[in-house]
Amino acid sequence: MAYIIRRIILFVVTMATVSLITFSVFQVMPGDPIRIMLGTEADETQVETLKKQLGLDQPLHIQYMDWVKGLVTGDLGDSIRFSRPVTELLADRLPVTISLALITLIIVVIVAIPLGIFVAKRQNKLSDVVFSSVTQLGMAVPSFWLGMLLILYLGMNFSFFTISGYVPWTQSVVGALGALLLPALTIAIPQIAVKFRYVRNAILEQLRLDYVRTIRSKGITEKFVMYKHVLRNSMIPILTVFGLITAEVVAGTIIVEQVFSLPGIGQLLITSISYRDFPLVQGIVMYITFVVVFINFIVDILYSVLDPRIRLN
Amino acid sequence: MKTLMSHGKNINLIVGLLILSAFLLLMLLSFFYTPHDINAMNVANKLRGPSSEYWFGTDEFGRDIFSRIMKGTQTAFFVGALTVSIGVVFGTLIGGIAGYVGGWVDEVFMRIMDSFMAFPGIILALMLVAVFGPGIVNTSIALGLMAIPSIARIARSGFIQHKEFEYVMAAKLIGVKPFKIMFRHILPNVSSPLIVAASISFAVAMLAEAALSYLGLGVQPPDPSWGRMLKDSQAYLTSSPWYTYAPGISITLMVLGFYMLSNAIRDIMDPRSN
């Protein structure tokens, strides 16, 4: 329990500093944000009205407190460009990004874990070199270029895939899959290339331990050793890695949505930056960071349930 | 040199150095010579496939892609070098002070660093670019700020470990100033993980620059950028697929070179890690 409370405090402190950074970054911005938003032709009254409307005539600490109060109550302010609440805009885009992230995660998990097990069983000098090269290549390829290559080689050749734009699930499940599968693969492939080695290492680590020798010497089949004992005990390091993946997948969606013209949160963020719509940028940054920090928090709690030793240190 | 020779079998070292020196040569050459003027437009020659005159073909304005790739090495190295310099200088300073001084200074510094690390990398970069505006220098500053926390962490753990050693005690006893102890005595001893981290930061910076430029928020025309070239090539993906290969392969190779180099350095400096 003490462990969970410590984690909760850490979570709150992290989010508080994250909000402070997000807020301050836009204060140190060179130039007057209002002027930048309205353009050079705007007259004084326009500037004053918008300032008042955004609460920018208040002292900084009041502005910050108001902003945080809004964040906590789920009010991220209004977008200047779209003249709508940021939360509404996010809600519109959320289904696309969540679908994309979930499909990606599913692909990564169902490929990386079996691949890691497969590789762990066949360990030799040559395969080590091959697999470490695959991993390095996976880290080096820019995801958006990989997306373009997938469009070129899969998207163009199979009519199942939509290479640009989105089809809502409610309209057509096949259509939605066709629109999301290539972007999901784009994020998933480099993740798999890097993460299957973590699975492999976690399993190899276990295979070296004494208990494995003991159960093997009892004559238990190799399959049983692997799936009943080794895999279970490797789950904690594997889970750690998959906690990290979630953050990387969320970040990955931002660029990949752009490649496939998917109307998700990433696209909204890029749009808001190009229109210098700062309330919207701030809102999206806070929202995405909150989700990622929250997922890491949940993963931390999960470990302590899976492995009580973690709670003790 | 002898230590270098004894690692002659290190594939990462050989391939990594080969790739990077090839790009470095290409960059040096591009200051004096490119096969074609990188900005010379020739609409009659637009989107030509690779030929003996245009090795990698031409783009939508008839500009030579190979020449632009060459010039792009300047952008890539500039952004990488500036980013890594910012990251290493400030990261070492912050991490060093936090680790050496300890106590509440450490607590405050590292809490702030942790908060920066809580942002998914690209989000932080995008937010900073939104504030600073696009362009080569602004992109590098944004990416440099992004690189500081992880380097600070590595520096901190080195300084914490070394401040208890006898040589530091001895230096303190004879009255050497703290700043000199930190950066003249401890820093050289904790530099190897920092060199590895710098090499990785170089790779990360290059990928991030390419991504930002692809999104139209990084390096702006007329500065040639491989990420920007990829963005431009996407419109001609079906009609001129080769357009996308030159910048895509260049980014991948260069990033790969830095990752291989960082792995090689780590293996050489700490043989136990493997």
Q: Which of A144, A149, A156, A300 to mutate to test the interface with B (most CBs of B within 10 A)?
A: A144
For chain A, give the number of residues. Answer: 313
CB contact under 8 A, A139 and B255: yes
Please indicate, yes or no, if residue A82 is contained in any of the structural domains. Answer: no
Q: How confident is the model at residue A251 (pLDDT cuts 50, 70, 90)?
A: confident
Between A14, A140, A142, which is nearest B118 by CB? A14
- Give contacts of A18 with chain B, Cβ < 8 Å: 115, 118-119
Which of chain B's residues have a Cβ under 8 Å away from the Cβ of A293? 118
Q: Which residue of B has its CA nearest to A249?
A: B120
CA A251, CA A245: separation in Å to the nearest integer? 10
- The pLDDT score that the predictor gives to residue A233 is 79
Report yes or no on B138 lying in a domain.
Answer: yes
Please state, as a whole number, how many other Cβ atoms lie within 10 Å of the Cβ of residue B136. 19
| Per-residue pLDDT, A37 | 66
Which residues span the domain enclosing A167? 95-263
Question: What mean pLDDT is reported for chain B?
Answer: 86
| Domain range for B122 | 72-273
pLDDT tens readout for residues B183-222:
888 888 888 889 999 999 999 999 999 999 999 888 888 8
* Domain-embedded: residue B163: yes
Report the pLDDT value the prediction gives residue B236, as an integer from 0 to 100.
Answer: 87
Alpha-carbon span A126 to B9, nearest angstrom: 14
This model of the complex carries an ipTM of 0.87
**Position B7 confidence tier, pLDDT thresholds 50, 70, 90:** low
Question: Distances in Å between the alpha carbon of A296 and those of A108, B111, B261?
Answer: 18, 16, 31
> How many residue pairs bridge chain A and chain B with CB atoms within 8 Å of each other?
126
Whole-number Å distance between alpha carbons of A249 and A184:
9
B125 contact A CB<8A: no
Angle in degrees, 0-180, between the axes of helices B103-118 and A2-25, rounded to the nearest 10: 70
Q: What percent of chain A has pLDDT over 70?
A: 94
Residue B122 lies in a domain: yes
Tell if the CB–CB gap between B214 and A269 is shorter than 8 Å.
no
Tell me the nearest-neighbour CA distance from A221 into chain B, angstroms. 31
Q: Which residue has the higher pLDDT, B83 or A277?
A: B83
Residue B35 lies in a domain: no
Q: What CATH number is attached to the domain comprising A148?
A: 1.10.3720.10
Q: Is residue A115 part of a domain?
A: yes
Q: How many domains does chain A have?
A: 1
- The answer on pLDDT for B24 being more than 50 is yes
Query: Is the backbone of residue A97 left (phi > 0), alpha (psi -120 to 50) or beta?
Result: alpha
What lies within 8 Å, CB to CB, of A157 at 6+ separation is: none
**pLDDT tier at B8 (50, 70, 90 boundaries)?**
low
A293's CB contacts (< 8 A; 6+ apart) are A11, A14, A15, A18, B118
- Going by C-alpha positions, the residue among B249, B237, B204 that lies closest to residue A150 is B237
Q: Report the distance separating Cα B160 and Cα B148, nearest Å.
A: 18
Spatial distance between the Cα atoms of B122 and B101, rounded to a whole number of angstroms = 32
> Does a structural domain hold residue B104?
yes
With CB atoms and an 8 Å threshold, state whether B207 touches A288: no
Q: Name chain A contacts of B227, Cβ cutoff 8 Å.
A: 142
H-helix segments, chain B: 2-6, 11-32, 65-101, 103-118, 121-132, 136-162, 166-173, 178-180, 187-189, 191-214, 226-234, 242-269
Q: Residue B120 falls within a domain, yes or no?
A: yes
Q: What is the mean pLDDT of residues B171-175?
A: 89
Query: A145–B230: do the CB atoms touch at under 8 Å?
Result: yes
The reply to whether B181 falls in a domain is: yes
Query: What sign has the CA pseudo-torsion A245, A247, A249, A255?
Result: negative
Question: Is B203 part of the contact surface with chain A (CB cutoff 8 Å)?
Answer: yes
Q: What are phi and psi of B6, to 5 degrees?
A: -65, -15
d(Cα A49, Cα A44) in Å, to the nearest integer? 9
Q: Which two tokens stand for residue A198?
A: 């973590």
B120 interfaces chain A, CB cutoff of 8 Å = yes
* Residue A46 scores a pLDDT above 80: no
Residue of B nearest to A282 (CA): B127
Is the Cβ–Cβ distance between B130 and A281 less than 8 Å? yes
User: Which of A17, A130, A137, A148 has the most B C-beta neighbours within 10 Å, making it the best mutation to test the interface with B?
Assistant: A148
Distance, in Å, from the CA atom of B221 to the CA atom of A178, rounded to the nearest integer, reads 35
**pLDDT of the residue at B274:** 47
Tell if the CB–CB gap between B216 and A17 is shorter than 8 Å.
no
Pick from A13, A21, A255: CB nearest B122: A255
To the nearest whole angstrom, how far is the Cα of A219 from the nearest Cα of chain B?
A: 32
Specify the pLDDT at position A97.
92
Across the interface, which of A21, A26, A276 has its CB nearest the CB of B116? Answer: A21
Determine, for residues B211 and A143 on separate chains, whether the beta-carbon distance falls below 8 Å. Answer: yes
Which of B116, B211, B238 is closest, CB to CB, to A156?
Answer: B238
Task: Give the pLDDT confidence of A71-126 residue by residue, as tens digits.
Answer: 888 787 788 778 888 888 888 899 999 999 999 999 998 998 888 888 888 777 77
Residue B173: give its domain's CATH number.
1.10.3720.10
pLDDT tier, B1 (very low <50, low <70, confident <90, very high otherwise): very low
Q: State whether residue A78 is helix, strand or coil.
A: strand
Nearest CA among B263, B224, B265 for reference residue B77: B224
Q: Which of B118, B241, B244 sits opposite A289 (nearest CB)?
A: B118
Tens digit of each residue's pLDDT (9 = 90 or more) over A145-157: 999 999 988 878 8
Q: Do B215 and A255 touch (CB under 8 A)?
A: yes
The secondary structure of A228-263 as a DSSP string is: IIIHHHHHHHHHHHHHHHHHHHHHHHHHHHHHTT--
pLDDT of residue A30: 61
Chain B residues lying within 8 Å of A25, measured CB to CB: 127-128, 131
Question: What H or E segment, with its residue span, contains residue B57?
Answer: none
| B132 pLDDT more than 90 | no
Domain assignment present for residue B248? The answer is: yes
DSSP string, B65-91: HHHHHHHHHHHHHHHHHHHHHHHHHHH
DSSP A85: B
What pLDDT, on a 0 to 100 scale, did the predictor assign at position B9? 63
Q: What phi and psi values does residue B51 have, to the nearest 5 degrees?
A: -150, 180
pLDDT exceeds cutoff 50 at A10: yes
Please determine, for residue B4, whether its predicted confidence score (pLDDT) is greater than 60: no
CA distances B250 to A135, A140, A252, B262, Å, are 18, 10, 21, 18
CB contact under 8 A, B263 and A136: yes
Q: Which of B118, B132, B230 sits opposite A148 (nearest CB)?
A: B230
Q: Would you say residue A32 has pLDDT above 70? A: no
Which of B45, B42, B44, B67 has its CA nearest to residue B56? B67
Cβ count within 10 A of residue A175: 15
Is A63 a domain residue? no
Q: Could you give the C-alpha distances from A221 to A218, A224, A225, A227, A229, in angstroms and in order?
A: 9, 5, 6, 10, 11
Average pLDDT, chain A: 84
| Whether B244 and A148 lie within 8 Å, measured CB to CB | yes
User: Is the confidence at residue B255, as pLDDT, over 90?
Assistant: yes
Share of chain B above pLDDT 70, in %: 95
| Confidence grade of residue B273 (pLDDT, cut at 50, 70, 90) | low
Of A17, A26, A142, the CB nearest to B207: A142
Taking 80 as the threshold, does the pLDDT of residue A34 lie above it? no
- Helix B121-132 to helix A231-259 angle (10° resolution) is 30
Cα–Cα distance for residue pair A53/A69, rounded to 1 Å:
17
B116 contact residues in A (CB cutoff 8 A): 21
Q: Do B217 and A17 touch (CB under 8 A)?
A: no
**DSSP character for B223?**
S
Give the burial string for A251-288 (b: 16+ CB within 10 Å, else e).
bbbbbbbbbbebbbbbbbbbbbbeebbbbbbbbbbbbb
Is the pLDDT at A188 greater than 90? The verdict is: yes
Q: What is each CA distance from A306 to A136, A201, A299, A309, in whole angstroms?
A: 31, 19, 10, 9
In a domain, A235, yes or no: yes
Q: How far apart are CA A115 and CA A113, in angstroms?
A: 5
Residue-level pLDDT at A200: 86
| pLDDT band at residue B33 using 50, 70 and 90 as cut-offs | confident
Chain A CB contacts of B251 under 8 Å are 140, 142, 145
Cβ of B119 under 8 Å from any chain A Cβ?
yes
Question: Which of the four pLDDT bands, split at 50, 70 and 90, describes residue A39?
Answer: low
